[in-house]
Amino acid sequence: MKLLLVEDEEELASIIAKGLRKSGYAIDHAYDGEEALYLYEVNEYDLIILDVNLPKFDGLEVLNRIRNQDSFVKVLILSARSDVDDRVTGLDSGANDYLVKPFDFKELEARIRMLLRRSFIQTATVLACGDLTLHTVSKTVYYHESLLPLTKKEYAVLEYLFHNKNTVVSSEQIIEHVWDSEVDLFSNSLKYHIHSIKKKMYDSGYDVEYIKNIRGQGYILMEDDHGTAE
Ligand code: CA
């Protein structure tokens, strides 16, 4: 999942970005409203974390401009305790949630998870595909009872495939949603990640080809269609 963080307080921004990257999210960071709108135009984000008081355009102006063209992307506003009016205006302008500063990082993460689940119209925190289960809170994947020893990026790739289960997604789409924008990733290195995920599944006793490579189109995570894997 790729997030755009718009926050001009450098220290706070770097703490948030560091924490979220540690949890496996791809993060782009904008320091002001203008940069936020630019990044929003050229990239695809699953969620935007938007501070209200920003240089150039403030957060509410950014929100209005985004909502003029996109009612789908999830927006979480960050506001100072005193700015009650800003929060109300923000929600009225189409923010999906808000958090008052200072906040606990765990709470920020919980709200992000909730908004991302909502944007994929999923209410469960555990997603299943045949005998594979993906736990979005602990960010772990199990095959039967065995924990797959995935890296954060491998988990993120698999989570994106789970959210798009039974749908072919292109390499570009996966890269767009899993890696930060400044990373120049080629589809070959995505191929390497997918290969590594599959190998870890095989090593855990997996004998069903859940992830299929559709030549020229991309990848698909599919439920086993010929009975249970024994
Ligand atoms: Ca600010």
Predicted confidence (pLDDT) per residue in 65-122, tens digit: 998 888 788 999 998 877 778 888 888 888 999 999 999 999 999 999 989 887 665 5
| 7 Cα–ligand 1 center, Å | 6
| 24 Cα–ligand 1 center, Å | 25
Reading the block at residue 27, the tokens are 């993060």
| 161 Cα–ligand 1 center, Å | 35
| 100 Cα–ligand 1 center, Å | 12
Looking at per-residue pLDDT, the higher value among 200 and 223 belongs to: 200
| 25 Cα–ligand 1 center, Å | 22
| 50 Cα–ligand 1 center, Å | 9
Record the pTM.
Answer: 0.71
| 54 Cα–ligand 1 center, Å | 5
Whole-number pLDDT of residue 227: 44
If you average pLDDT over residues 130-155, what whole number do you get? 90
| 34 Cα–ligand 1 center, Å | 14
How far apart are the C-alpha atoms of 77 and 66, rounded to whole Å?
13
| 23 Cα–ligand 1 center, Å | 24
Whole-number pLDDT of residue 154: 94
* Contact between residue 218 and residue 174 where contact means Cβ atoms under 8 Å apart: yes
How far apart are the C-alpha atoms of 22 and 81, rounded to whole Å?
27
How far apart are the C-alpha atoms of 146 and 138, rounded to whole Å?
15
Q: Encode pLDDT of 158-206 as tens digits.
A: 999 998 999 999 998 999 899 988 777 777 789 999 999 999 988 888 7
Reading the block at residue 52, the tokens are 């209200």
Domains and CATH numbers, the chain: 2-118 (3.40.50.2300), 126-221 (1.10.10.10)
Q: φ, ψ for residue 201 (rounded to 5)? A: -65, -45
| 51 Cα–ligand 1 center, Å | 6
Give, in order, the Cα–Cα distances in Å from 175 to each of 61, 82, 172. Answer: 29, 39, 5
Whole-number percent of the chain with pLDDT over 90: 60
| 8 Cα–ligand 1 center, Å | 5
Residue 1 C-beta-side C-alpha neighbours within 13 Å: 27
Reading the block at residue 98, the tokens are 């808000």
DSSP code of residue 169: B
| 94 Cα–ligand 1 center, Å | 20
**Where does the pLDDT of residue 229 fall: very low under 50, low under 70, confident under 90, or very high at 90 and above?**
very low
